[in-house]
Every structure is written in C-alpha cells, then in structure tokens.
Structure 1
Amino acid sequence: MLRRLATLALPLLVAASLVPAAVAADGSDGSDGSDGSDGSDARTRATAQVQLTSWSSYADFKAGKRRGLKLGRGQVSMLRATPRTVAGKAYEAGTWTSPWATPGFGASAVIPSWEATTPGRTMVRVELRARDASGRTGSWDTVADWARGNRPVKRATYSGQADDLGRVSADTWYAAGAVTSWQVRVTLLRPKGSAKAVSLERIGAVASADASAPRPTSQPGPAAGTVLPVPTYSQMVHSGHYPAWGGGGEAWCSPTSTAMVLAYYGISPAPAGITPGHADAVVDHTAKMVYDHGYRGTGNWAFNTAYAATLVAGDSYVTRMRDLREAEDQIVAGVPLVVSIAFGRNQLAGAPISASNGHLLVIVGFEADGDVVVNDPAGATNAEVRRVYDRAQFEQLWIAASGGTAYVIRNG
C-alpha cells in the first residue's frame, strides 16, 4: 500500500488568511468571467463545498486566545509557560486557540496542517473540535504530536477517538454527521527548564463536504503547454531501505514526491544517519523526517507539508482542489503539486504500476492538449518517473480517491 485513502471530499486552491465561504478559490465571485472565460466554468467551480482557513499573521494570531504565549510578527512563542506532563516527561507549555471557522456548509471532513519551529526537544500538539447545527460542541481530539526531530516523544497521530461529533484518522478529522464550524488548538511544548524558542508560524485546515460523485472533465486552461523542471526520483530504487520508516519502495511515494518538489526549489538537505552509497539518499532522509509513528507510514499529508515548511521560505500546507483547472493556476505560478490518487487495474493508462489503493505523485505541468504531465515516483528508475496521463482519467481518479487533495509547497 502506498498511501491509505479514506477521504472523499471537495477541494480548494490557495490559502488566504480567512477565505469567505462564498468566494471562489480564484478570488472572484465565480460568476463574472474574470478568469478569462465566459463565466460558465467559474460558476460551476464555485459550487464546490470546500474552505481553507488559516492563521499566520500578527492580526490572525491576535484574533485567537493564547495562554502562556506572546505574539510576534507572524508567530506565537513562549512567554509564561505552565507545567505539563507528556508521555511521562516534564514539559512547559503554552496554548493558542483559534477563533471558530465557519465554512458556510455542513462539513464532513477537516484536514489540519501547520508550520512550526521545534528546536531541540521541543514539540507542538495539534487538536481539533467541531460544532454542529444544533449548537452542540464536541470534545477536543488530539490530531498529532509533531516535531521536526523525534525526541523524546515520537512524532505521531492518534487515530480513533470516535466520540461525540467526530473521529481522527491519521491526518484527517471525520465528522459523524455534518458540522457547521471547527476550531483548532495548538500547544507549544519544551522540556522543563529549557529556553528553546519553539514557535507556531501558521495553523489552518481545509474543511469539505463529501464529493465522490463524478463531474465533467475540466477544460484546459492557462497552464496548457507548461512543464516545470522538477527533478525525477524513483521510490522503487529504495526498496528494502529502512524498515523502521516504512521500508522504501511502494511505501515511499509521499516522501519521494516531497523530496522532488524540494529539489525543484534547490533544497536538498544533507542526509543525516543514512547508509553511504544509497542512491538519492535525500529520499531516505525525507522518509525519516515525515514518518508518522502513530499511523506507521510516511504518507501523512500534514507531516509532509510541516517538514517542507521547515525548509522553504514560503507557505506549505494541505488543501483540496475542485479540478485540474485549479491545479493549472499553481503550475502557472511555478508551483508543482503533490497530489493523492488511487486507481484499479486498467484505470490509469501508462502508469508504471497496475493499481494502487493510495498513491502520491507530483503534477509538474500540462501538455498543449491539457493532458497531465507528472513525476510518478512509482517509475522503476529515475528515467522512468516522468509520465503523461489522460486528463479525464487522472482528474476522475484524483477527485474520487481523495477529493482533490494536494500539498502546496512554495519557496518564496
């Protein structure tokens, strides 16, 4: 299994600080044809039930509630920490709680993602709760304990917690019934007596309603004929590497894809603790840095973007998109996308593997006719990673499998 899929929901494009539910992802009202069309395509795209909300500026963080933390420019950090015990270890903690985010529709899933600085043995805990139409508020569910490193508490998510209004499944919070608003809480933690500068730079989530129904294929847009020069890495050449981090090969589609996007930006961190002689050892290193000890895999969406955020100068987050037309907007902006698909036998012509119940790859551009150019890490060698997939086939599989889930990783 390359990446488990358990999400069927509709998607968005880029994060503004707080995106109004009635505004289309391209910033228009979805009806004036400002994308260069006659308006009909924009109207269709604006009907998708999805909203990405994030907090990252001084004003954003000021709008939330903080305890033991201070505001800075684009971050919150420790001020007067309070004692906390985590996994039997003594910590000092400070907490920031977001305002309620109201998407304007009944959401069935919420996927949080974050950017944080966790030096030494510091860490962050991410929690989420929701409210339904009756006004009932659910309990706080712990989504993840996360740090760039892995000591003394291992980076992990907490699947289960199936109580009141929802449950956690690795990187996604699922509603038991439709919820009308959600809230996140982030706790910054450092070992007792430490002065390490743990901080939160961004927190947000994409909320969506179920959208497994097929839709007409999107028409090619401004990225037709544009292909970004993203380096090619094969996950398959790492088969058998590091069983403690998933064992390489089919298990490493996500870290391989993340490593390709980082390499496109000229970011290739020196692998630490990797066996000398491994080809493209940065892939092994990335797998180590994104491994989720709760889910026991490298395919956790938010863990990949949170790691990338520690290396890039721009934003790094998980979102959902309505169609490939929205993906084209990112390609035009010079941003390759890691996307999550699944397919059965003979469903994806030209794929290097016959089927997958969950696979991540990189959209790097589009042919002149609108077909999708990808770096598919399932290629047997680096030379076999670049592929072209039929637009209709690919879009249908992407939307049906993950609701158009994508990693948006920007550098600058």
Structure 2
Amino acid sequence: MTAATSRRTVLTAAVAVAAAGLASPALAATPSSHGAQAPTRPVDNRAWTSAADWRSGAADGVRVLAGRRPGVTIGHASGRTDYTDPHLKTTTRYEYARWTGPRHRLSVPATEVIASWNADTPTGTWVEIELTGTYSDGTETPWYVMGRWTSGDDARRDIRRTSVDDQSDGKSSIWTDTFSIDEPASGLRLVSYRLRLSLYRRPGSRAAPTVWRVGAMGSDVPDRYSVPASTPGLVRELAVPRYSQEIHAGQYPEYDNGGEAWCSPTSSQMIIEYWGRRPTAEQLAWVAPGTVDPQVCHAARHTFDYQYDGCGNWPFNAAYAATYPDLQGVVTRLGSLTDLETLVRAGIPVITSQSFLKEELTGAGYGTSGHLMTVIGFTAEGDVVANDPASPNDEAVRRVYRRSEWETIWLRTKRKGADGKILSGTGGVCYLYFPAHPSPAQRRALAAVGVR
C-alpha cells in the first residue's frame, strides 16, 4: 500500500497533470441490467486466445498449439541475440521466435493502453511483450516494450522480470506498465495498435515458453472527481480467503520493503486460492519456517518488478495468477459497481485499485496514495464487502464500505490531496482472475463487462 503504490502515483500524477483542462464529452447512457441508465464504458478490450486468433498473426518461428488451451510456442529459432540484464549485470545469448498480432482498431481512441498476457515460462525462458500503434494524426509510435517477463527468478538461469523506463517519442510514454498519451488535452489519441511477442530460450535448449493469452485494454476515461451513484442490484458474498499484508511488515524487504507494501500480491493470492489453487510445499520451501501465510511472501516475490522496484505492476500480477493451472488474468477498467455486481453474481471476485484520504472512506482508518482490495460481495443496503489487506490481521480483513464512497474513490480520475493539490485516480482499474474455461454464466458475465 505504501512504497510501490506511491511510486505509481508519482508516475500517473504526471499523466493526470498533463490531462488537466481536457474537456471530455459526457458519457452516453445505455440501459443497465436493472433498468437504470448506466454510462457507456469508454474502454476497448481485445485479446488473442483461440487457435484462430493465433493464426491471424504473423508467425516468425512460432507454432500454434491447438487443443483445449490454444497458444503459441517456439517452433524453431528465427534469430539469436545477446541480452544484457540491467539488474543482474550479465549478458546471455538467447534464441527467439516471434508472433506479431494483426492491427486492432480501437473502438475507443485511447489515451492509455495496458497490455496483459498469460504464459508458461520454464526455467531459462522468458517472453517480451511489445506494442506499436497509430496516432489520430496518422503517425506511428515506435515499438514500446510493455514488459519482459518470466515466472522464475533463478539468478543463474532466469532474467529479472522487468518493466522498461525512459520510453517516449515526444507524443506518448510508457509509465511502468501503461502506454499514455503525453498531452491528452491536445486531442491526440491512439486509434490502433499491434502487439508483438518474442519468446526466448538459450540456444540448444528444448525448453520453450508458451503464451496462452495476450491482449490490451485501451481507454479514454473522462476527467472526473466524482461519479454518479449506481443503483444496488445484488446481495451476495463470495467465500474468498482473507490475508493481511500487515502481518508481513518487515519480511523479505528485498521485495518492495516488505509486507506493508504488498497489497497487490496479497489481493492476488486471495483470489488465486478462491479458485482452489495455491503454491506447493516445494515452491514455498524458500520461506522461513514458521512464517504465517507463506504463500503471500511467495506472491510478492513472483510479482516483483525489478525496475519498478515493487510488487504493484498490474500485468505482472495478472501474469502471476495465470501461472496456476487453468487460470487466466486480465487487467481492465470497469464503469460502475453494477459491473462488479455482474461479476460477483457469476462468482467472480474483483481486485480494484483506488486512492483516498482517510476521511473519504468511512471505516478504513487510513488514507493511501494507491491501494488494492478485493471486492467479494454486496450487502442488502448495496454497500461493498471487501477483503482489505491493509488490516492488522487475517480476521480483520473483511470490511464493509459505503457504496457511494467506494464508487467515487475507485472510478474517479482526479482527486485533491490533503494539501489541495490535484492528484490522479485510477479510473476504474481492476484485475480479473477467472478459469481458463469459464462456465456459461461466467462467460456471459465477462462478456457483459467487455472481457472474453
């Protein structure tokens, strides 16, 4: 909740300041499932997951895996390169194959784009995800690196998973895991994009990464300090495990200064276990004996971004969730608590990102520049039932927060700090983790919020 999220706030605040003064059109209204008028979602989601999707791209050494969970893997090496790891200070030769997706035209010309991917990376292998696009003025972006990722962290054989700083062309920039237009007030937008996957392994190795899902969420959320209240439409609570980040304070400080900053991996671990997955005893053997909830330490270690120097990289958390058997992870934006009700009704809990002053969220007892919680249900009054990892112990994790307050702190894009300065909000960012083969009801719920 502290170190990593504060660094993200510093970055996104720059984007928010650049956007100041932007005159955004009002959102069009469409009927919701409860008969009320809900705002049209200013978000475009596209994912490549099926064999047909993978065959629609340009293959350079990759082969398509069909079957129950289609994906791409290395068929033969199309080239070799030396990679100098900026964190290990080593240079290693790898061979690679590439998949370049078709151009996707955004239904919502975007000020921001966030990529997500789900992959298996055996020891010694890794993947790089890149994005290029076309601006509304007809010019092209460079190829931007959205992440260099591996599930492993064996310093002898694995790279350090990392975002890449200092990427900009004077019109857009990469802020850790987010493509952002530098000056949204100018009217410039990204109107289309392509994604590129590079799959790496050491020459002569038979191991190979497999990517099952890659996609991106483009959005143009209007500037707003508050949002209209949605009408309650669900009373349900999901049985999601409860884990506190605070009981890990000071543990493993090499991962974002310890548990007090582990809101993202703690939330991720709660939902991973809700779906019946968890690390094995062998995977947890590195954690000191007697550590309470060692799987939370494991999640922090395996979501840590060595460039961002934190565990709060959004796509890295989604990718970590998808390392467990038959789970998918996606980063997106949603438009209201009605969307969350749609998902919870289908049995899908949601991790949301928000920032607020202490007095803006009754009962929290703290303020934060950025924090992740897990929405697990709604009360008869329509209030939000959340597993809040910023709690003193596991038993205290379940909280009930006022609906109107929650909706505002999660969906706004701007807020005022205690000193009156204008700060950024996440505009409805959330993580969705769900089965690789959702039930029909889950599939319908995901489609209703723009995810497939």
TM-score by length of 2: 0.82
Specify the alignment match of 1:168 in structure 2.
174
Structure 1 counterpart of 2:39, one-letter code: R
Does structure 1 retain, via aligned residues, the 8 Å contact 2:200–2:208? Answer: no
> CA 1:36–1:243 in 2, change beyond 3 Å: closer, same or farther?
closer
Match of 1:133 among 136, 158, 164: 136
Summarize the alignment of residues 47-58 of structure 1 with structure 2, pairs less than 5 Å apart: 48-58=41-51
Q: Does 1:244 align with 2:254?
A: yes
Summarize the alignment of residues 11-90 of structure 1 with structure 2, pairs less than 5 Å apart: 31=30, 33=31, 36-38=33-35, 40-41=36-37, 44-46=38-40, 48-73=41-66, 74-81=70-77, 82-87=79-84, 88-90=91-93
Measure how far apart 1:154 and its partner are.
Answer: 0.3
Counterpart Cα distance in 1 of 2:286 and 2:48: 35
| SS of corresponding position for 2:338 | helix
Measure how far apart 1:49 and its partner are.
Answer: 1.6
Does structure 2 retain, via aligned residues, the 8 Å contact 1:139–1:164? Answer: no
Does structure 1 retain, via aligned residues, the 8 Å contact 2:358–2:364? Answer: no
| SS of corresponding position for 1:102 | strand
Specify the alignment match of 2:443 in structure 1.
none
Measure how far apart 1:219 and its partner are.
Answer: 1.1
Does structure 1 retain, via aligned residues, the 8 Å contact 2:150–2:158? Answer: no
Tell me the number of residue pairs that the alignment of Structure 1 and Structure 2 aligns.
385
Measure how far apart 1:211 and its partner are.
Answer: 2.6
Structure 1 counterpart of 2:434, one-letter code: R
Does structure 1 retain, via aligned residues, the 8 Å contact 2:278–2:324? Answer: no
Structure 2 counterpart of 1:330, one-letter code: L
Summarize the alignment of residues 5-404 of structure 1 with structure 2, pairs less than 5 Å apart: 5=9, 31=30, 33=31, 36-38=33-35, 40-41=36-37, 44-46=38-40, 48-73=41-66, 74-81=70-77, 82-87=79-84, 88-150=91-153, 151-176=157-182, 177-213=188-224, 214-221=226-233, 224-270=234-280, 271-352=284-365, 354-400=366-412, 401-404=425-428
Structure 1 counterpart of 2:274, one-letter code: Y
Specify the alignment match of 1:406 in structure 2.
430
Does structure 2 retain, via aligned residues, the 8 Å contact 1:235–1:249? Answer: yes
Measure how far apart 1:245 and its partner are.
Answer: 0.7
Measure how far apart 1:152 and its partner are.
Answer: 3.0
Residues 25-71 of structure 1 deviation map (CA, whole Å, 9 limit, x = unaligned): xxxx985x5x5443x52xx422x321111101111111111111111
Counterpart Cα distance in 1 of 2:125 and 2:258: 28
Measure how far apart 1:266 and its partner are.
Answer: 2.0
> CA 1:156–1:36 in 2, change beyond 3 Å: closer, same or farther?
closer
Does structure 2 retain, via aligned residues, the 8 Å contact 1:342–1:356? Answer: yes
Counterpart Cα distance in 1 of 2:230 and 2:83: 48
Measure how far apart 1:248 and its partner are.
Answer: 2.3
Counterpart Cα distance in 1 of 2:201 and 2:159: 11
Counterpart Cα distance in 2 of 1:229 and 1:255: 19
| SS of corresponding position for 1:160 | coil
Q: Percent identity?
A: 35
Q: How large is the RMSD of aligned CA atoms in angstroms?
A: 1.9
Measure how far apart 1:249 and its partner are.
Answer: 3.0
| SS of corresponding position for 2:52 | helix
| Structure 1: tracts of 5 or more residues without a match | 10-23
Counterpart Cα distance in 2 of 1:359 and 1:211: 22
Measure how far apart 1:129 and its partner are.
Answer: 1.5
Counterpart Cα distance in 1 of 2:141 and 2:265: 33
Counterpart Cα distance in 2 of 1:175 and 1:235: 34
Counterpart Cα distance in 1 of 2:76 and 2:324: 29
Does structure 2 retain, via aligned residues, the 8 Å contact 1:7–1:403? Answer: no
Does structure 2 retain, via aligned residues, the 8 Å contact 1:233–1:382? Answer: yes
| SS of corresponding position for 1:383 | helix
| Structure 2: tracts of 5 or more residues without a match | 16-26, 85-90, 183-187, 413-424, 438-452
| SS of corresponding position for 2:240 | coil
> CA 1:165–1:185 in 2, change beyond 3 Å: closer, same or farther?
farther
Residues 290-323 of structure 1 deviation map (CA, whole Å, 9 limit, x = unaligned): 0000100001110011010010424211111001
> CA 1:173–1:366 in 2, change beyond 3 Å: closer, same or farther?
same
Structure 1 counterpart of 2:216, one-letter code: A
Structure 1 runs (4+) deviating above 4 angstroms are: 6-9
More deviation, 208-217/73-82: 208-217
